[in-house]
Structure 1
Amino acid sequence: MAYATVEDLESRWRPLDSDERARADVLLGDVAVLIDEAAPLPVPPAEPSQHDLSLRRLISCAAVKRAMAVSAATVGVSSEQHGTGPFQDSWNYANPMGDLYLLAPEIKRLRGDGRQQAATIPMYRTAGG
């Protein structure tokens, strides 16, 4: 189950052609697997909050955008340098293979690291426990 739709991605990035839409649909499903592995939702009967679902949609779109931002002409190229006379131009690509991945800050947000939480710890044993 994907957390975002192709329309969500387009509204956060740019319009996609039919081939890109098909690829985005697959990648949105794939990134949902990565998100669920990094930060599983609570099992029923607890329903995920609207905040959790919105965060998963936002991070899904960001990850798919990173993967799709690589052009076919530059796949596998990690850096590029051009020179003409005294002028030099150099590029380093952030995701040369177009990999689908989650950033460490995204995983922290998904897991709720840094959010205030409260809990109790029993300091005694109960009967039978």
Structure 2
Amino acid sequence: MSAFATVQDLGSKWAHLTGVELDDVNQGLGEATLMIRQAFKNAGRDITSADPEILKLVCARMVRNAFPQDSSAVNIPAGVETTQVGVGPFQRSFKFSGGASRRLWIGPDEMKLLGLQAKKMFSLDMLPEGWTAP
């Protein structure tokens, strides 16, 4: 089973990946594909009716969010939100954004694109039909 998206679908910032980074992103694309398939299964929907371009878009979005690439930063790991450098005992710290964990997830916008929105609220009338208050 192939992934819905490829590294090339992610964009130019991912074109330079090699070795372990490329393997990680390809693994992420495969996992995102499995998650999308499971979302359709959980919703009781047939994935073959879904638009392949939407499947590719959602898969690519999930991986872009989990594996942020910043080509302008030098010697800063992917996913770093802020960095702090000190002179004292030569400290250097990074604060990672949510994508640093490389956790894939399908957000509400992606669920909407897939046509798998959450169920709407509803209410049940617990009183028998025709019942009136005394």
2:98 corresponds to which of 77, 94, 98: 94
Q: Is the 8 A contact 1:74 1:96 kept in 2?
A: no
- Aligned sequence identity (%): 25
1:60 aligned partner, one-letter code: C
Q: Is the 8 A contact 1:5 1:25 kept in 2?
A: yes
1:7 Cα offset (Å)? 1.5
The alignment status of 1:18 with 2:18, answered yes or no, reads yes
2:112 corresponds to which of 100, 108, 123: 108
Structure 2 unaligned runs (5+)? Answer: 71-75, 87-94, 118-134
1:21/1:81 CA distance change after superposition, 3 Å = closer
Tell me whether 17-26 or 34-43 shows the greater mean CA deviation: 34-43
1:99 Cα offset (Å)? 0.9
Larger Rg belongs to:
2
TM-score by length of 2: 0.56
After TM superposition, the structure 1 = structure 2 runs for residues 20-99 of structure 1, keeping only pairs within 5 Å, are 20-40=21-41, 42=46, 47-48=48-49, 52-69=51-68, 93-99=97-103
1:101 aligned partner, one-letter code: W
Q: Is the 8 A contact 2:4 2:33 kept in 1?
A: yes
Q: Is the 8 A contact 2:68 2:78 kept in 1?
A: no
The separation in 1 between residues aligned to 2:108 and 2:4, in whole angstroms, is: 19
The separation in 2 between residues aligned to 1:80 and 1:65, in whole angstroms, is: 21
SS at match of 2:98: coil
1:77 Cα offset (Å)? 7.9
1:78 Cα offset (Å)? 8.3
The separation in 2 between residues aligned to 1:63 and 1:95, in whole angstroms, is: 10
1:105 Cα offset (Å)? 1.7
Q: Is the 8 A contact 1:78 1:96 kept in 2?
A: no
Q: Is the 8 A contact 1:59 1:106 kept in 2?
A: yes
1:96/1:6 CA distance change after superposition, 3 Å = closer
